[in-house]
Structure 1
């Protein structure tokens, strides 16, 4: 089954809130779908983040949330990949890789100089995914390959 990705909009909010709630539970938070929905609604409404949704057979199965940052040294926008989540039933099927690729495509189109993220040193599955997708690791943080040569 093929995976497609798109930028989240208001029509995605209810399904996205369920995924975001699952993400928060993964990190030890109590389930609170209304809170998850409101958080996402506010970020999207005010343009404070970009959320990309992955679907398989028309069903949302994962998301990535990016927050804008700026590099003074490079005088360029960068993005923080803050949240990446794939529903447990869709893991190991290429969804995470599709979301990473969609995030890189989005950032390139935006003219960004790069994307960065952090993950726990003990998150071996995520680290393997990032490495396979071409991300570089240092002692504390992962960095993408530069997205443009002009910065």
Structure 2
């Protein structure tokens, strides 16, 4: 099997990132996202590192996985949490260590940054496979539950 390369996303990756985000939303939440909006969103994040960054996993020059990191300031710790979001691994590459490699790179980058107090993510409550993967990587379930007011996807 060809070696996996992990790198930061570049502007040329915006279209594949957006397509993967749409595929992930449809697969995990049954939501069909707007093509133009997802393309603008991926491009905006790539252009503004203050928002966060994407990492992509490539095999033989093809993007087979991705994740996005955004930031949350913690006044309790005077440091930043990195939130992993928009995780997607192409179906043919699943169970092949792609997420593990992406996650390990995030860990390395967070340690090198010096001001990161933790790495967090949220997961669908019914996604037992993902939860087992995160636990196997050393992450633990938080005592927090997520509440939201979704202004973008209001029911009609």
TM-score category of the 2 structures, normalised to the smaller one: 0.7 to 0.9
User: What is the SS of the residue equivalent to 1:70?
Assistant: strand
Match of 1:113 among 117, 120, 129: 117
Deviations along 1:47-94, whole A, 9 cap, x unmatched?
Answer: 212100011111001111111111111111111112211111111111
Stretches of structure 1 lacking an aligned partner (at least 5 in a row): 142-151
| Partner residue in 1 for 2:131 | 127
Q: 1:73 to 1:50 in 2, by over 3 A?
A: same
Distance 1:88 1:120 in 2: 18
Task: Provide the alpha-carbon RMSD of the alignment.
Answer: 1.6
Distance 1:140 1:69 in 2: 15
Aligned length: 141
Distance 1:139 1:114 in 2: 15
TM-score, length basis structure 2: 0.82
User: What is the SS of the residue equivalent to 1:62?
Assistant: strand
Q: 1:123 to 1:140 in 2, by over 3 A?
A: farther
| Partner residue in 2 for 1:138 | 142
Superposed, 1:94-105 pairs within 5 Å as 94-105=97-108
Instruction: Spell out structure 1 runs of 4+ moving beyond 3 A.
Output: 138-141
Superposed, 1:27-66 pairs within 5 Å as 27-30=29-32, 32-47=34-49, 48-66=51-69
Q: 1:77 to 1:139 in 2, by over 3 A?
A: closer
